[in-house]
Amino acid sequence: MTSRIGFVGLGHMGSPIAENLIRSGHSLRIFNRTSEKVAPFVEMGAEQAATPADAASPGGIVFSMIANDRVMEIVTLEEHGILERLGKGGVHVSMSTLSPALARKLEKAHRERGAEYVAAPVFGRPEAAAARKLWICVAGAAGARARVRPLMEELGQGVFEVGDEPAEANVVKLANNFLIAAAMEAMAEAFTLGEKNGVPREKLAEIVGKTLFACPIYQGYGKAIAEERFEPAGFGLMLGLKDVKLALDTAEESQVPMPLAQLVHGRLLSAMARGRGKLDWAALALGAKEDAGLGEQ
């Protein structure tokens, strides 16, 4: 079944997702702040929207994939924003990594206008998005979730229904990114311990990734951290810091001390201060190494 879908946000993640929706036969009406980016999608058959509101259709479905909370508020709540036009019966599927606090605010704003807000943040990098290999966590009202579920399944390899409150999916996403950062710090310390005790970093990374931690995060980031290969950035350190900060902000609001999250936050902040904001966020691993007196990059 194909349908007309609004789409807002053609960034690194939004672009492959939008393309997949088009290739699946859906008619997309797309808004992007930098309008030239829409051109190739128009060639694939999409329509160009003049504003976020213009991308939405009353009672329809609109997707958004937005960089951060502030921009999300603009494209959704402010003048010419999605909510201006979406209206009663519409469903807004937000795939962005946002704060649970904003999700709560957006859910309320949608509800007040008779629309539904569904949070559907994703796990995976742009390549995974292109290959329809994303993992998607969906939270929101049951009816709205059911309506958009088939679309989610077209976009990823697995869909997890988290709960009825959109913010819950954002919490899962932030928790997940925190877990990744924690695993990287753990490997950074372990590999440095190995290095100073005669075990080559690559050897340790190999053993770890083939035995009890035989999973993508330890294998992929383990290799990068062992080889200290942080360019090109698959996920930029500055974005990583933003996400860990969102996790800590959420922890603060809900009174959850998270010392390990603080530790990785400190590592990322230090990496920023040392001018590594453009590297992959795995470069947080340099902290453990340099603390041990091993050469700066």
Indicate which residues carry an active-site annotation. 173
Sign of CA dihedral 116, 122, 128, 132: negative
* Least distance between a copy of itself and beta carbon 256 (Å): 4
* Least distance between a copy of itself and beta carbon 200 (Å): 8
Nearer to a copy of itself, 131 or 175 (CB): 175
Residue type (1 letter), 279: L
* Least distance between a copy of itself and beta carbon 135 (Å): 4
Residue 125: count other Cβ atoms within 10 Å of its Cβ.
16
Nearer to a copy of itself, 65 or 264 (CB): 264
Nearer to a copy of itself, 46 or 167 (CB): 167
* Least distance between a copy of itself and beta carbon 136 (Å): 10
207 contacts: CB under 8 Å, gap ≥ 6: none
Nearer to a copy of itself, 85 or 265 (CB): 265
Sign of CA dihedral 69, 135, 18, 142: negative
Question: Tokens 């035989």 appear where?
Answer: 214
* Least distance between a copy of itself and beta carbon 163 (Å): 6
Q: 218-233 burial string, b = 16+ CB within 10 Å, else e?
A: bbebbbbbbeeebeeb
Nearer to a copy of itself, 88 or 108 (CB): 108
Nearer to a copy of itself, 91 or 204 (CB): 204
H or E segment to which residue 283 belongs? none
- Cα-Cα-Cα-Cα torsion 267, 268, 271, 277, nearest 10 degrees, comes to 170
User: Residue 35 gets which letter from DSSP?
Assistant: G
Taking the C-alpha atoms of residue 80 and residue 4, their distance in angstroms, rounded to an integer, is 20
Helices within the chain (DSSP H only): 14-23, 39-43, 52-55, 69-77, 82-86, 100-112, 126-130, 142-155, 166-195, 201-210, 216-227, 237-253, 259-273, 286-291
* Least distance between a copy of itself and beta carbon 203 (Å): 7
220 contacts: CB under 8 Å, gap ≥ 6: none
| End-to-end Cα separation, the chain, in angstroms | 53
Burial of residue 208, with CB atoms counted within 10 A of its CB: 0-12 exposed, 13-18 middle, 19 or more buried: buried
